[in-house]
């Protein structure tokens, strides 16, 4: 069966997450429903990352095995037709080798977190960013984030329900930028690593927000990391502002 890589964008608000769940709407079920409309009886699809309920994607990557060979553009167009009215879009589709895997072939995942500081509630970005009422100190957050770069035991920053075999992970980058936003300021966190623990990014952003608000000194982030204790973590940020922004492979499956 020919295998295809799919680049997928979605609004996670209406879904219980990426993974198919009984009696709950999921992104996986929406995509598999569209595939079934093209070719019934196809195997389940696999994704680069299982985003949680309410988490969005700008560049989720999934794989599907088709019964017949499709031209990539035609496959993406057909899937988008059958995905309506779900807030899910196939940005690109490309044939890959049978040994290529959306999850296991990935060498980097990149997450974006959007945080808006303003007094007024969000309207245009409601459900798509985390709002806090007070401005934050971006320089202090960058100082705190620097303690997390590299290879560490991230027990403090992972969910107690995390199923990973080890808490050891390597964070390659945490970049924090700020820009004007109507009535306030938007802070964007870009976090890069080969792989992540469950709730790791949301735990990191929630902790850094405490630093930016002045409730934590930047050095407390290092103390929390060294504690290897979930109780030492700051509050976990909500899922609204989190996006799976992209996935990198040794060779880009959509180039060529």
- Residues annotated catalytic, as ranges: 52
Q: Compute the distance between CA of residue 31 and CA of residue 44 in angstroms, rounded to an integer.
A: 10
Q: Which residues touch 45 (CB under 8 Å, ≥6 apart)?
A: 6, 28, 31, 32, 35, 62, 63, 64
**234 C-beta neighbours (distance < 10 Å), count:** 23
**160 C-beta neighbours (distance < 10 Å), count:** 8
Look at residue 30 and give its three-state secondary structure. helix
Q: Which contacts (CB < 8 Å, 24+ apart) does range 171-175 have?
A: 172/108, 173/149, 174/145, 174/146, 174/148, 174/149, 174/204
Show the beta-strand stretches assigned E in 22-79: 46-47, 56-65
Look at residue 144 and give its three-state secondary structure. helix
User: Which has the closest alpha carbon to 128: 241, 209, 220?
Assistant: 241
Q: What pairs with residue 187 in β-bridges?
A: 115, 178
Q: Compute the distance between CA of residue 225 and CA of residue 218 in angstroms, rounded to an integer.
A: 12
């Amino acid at each position: 069966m020919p295998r295809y890589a799919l680049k997928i964008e979605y609004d996670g608000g209406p879904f219980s997450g990426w993974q198919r769940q009984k009696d709950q709407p999921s992104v996986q079920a929406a995509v598999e429903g569209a595939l079934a409309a093209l070719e019934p009886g196809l195997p389940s699809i696999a994704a680069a990352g299982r985003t949680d309920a309410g988490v969005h994607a700008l560049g989720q990557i999934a794989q599907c095995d088709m019964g017949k060979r499709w031209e990539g553009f035609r496959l993406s167009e057909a899937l988008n037709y059958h995905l309506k009215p779900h807030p899910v879009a196939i940005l690109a589709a490309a044939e890959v080798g049978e040994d290529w895997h959306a999850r296991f072939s990935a060498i980097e995942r990149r997450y974006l977190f959007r945080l808006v500081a303003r007094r007024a509630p969000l309207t245009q970005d409601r459900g798509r960013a985390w709002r806090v009422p007070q401005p934050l100190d971006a320089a202090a957050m960058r100082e705190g984030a620097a303690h997390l770069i590299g290879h560490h035991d991230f027990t403090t920053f992972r969910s107690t329900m995390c199923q990973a075999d080890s808490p050891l992970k390597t964070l390659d980058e945490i970049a924090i930028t700020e820009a004007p936003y109507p009535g306030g300021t938007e802070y964007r966190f870009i976090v890069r690593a080969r792989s992540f623990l469950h709730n790791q990014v949301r735990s990191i952003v929630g902790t850094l927000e405490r630093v930016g608000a002045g409730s934590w000194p930047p050095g407390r982030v290092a103390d929390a990391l060294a504690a290897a204790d979930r109780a030492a973590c700051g509050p976990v940020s909500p899922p609204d502002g989190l996006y799976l922004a992209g996935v990198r492979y040794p060779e880009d499956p959509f180039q060529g």
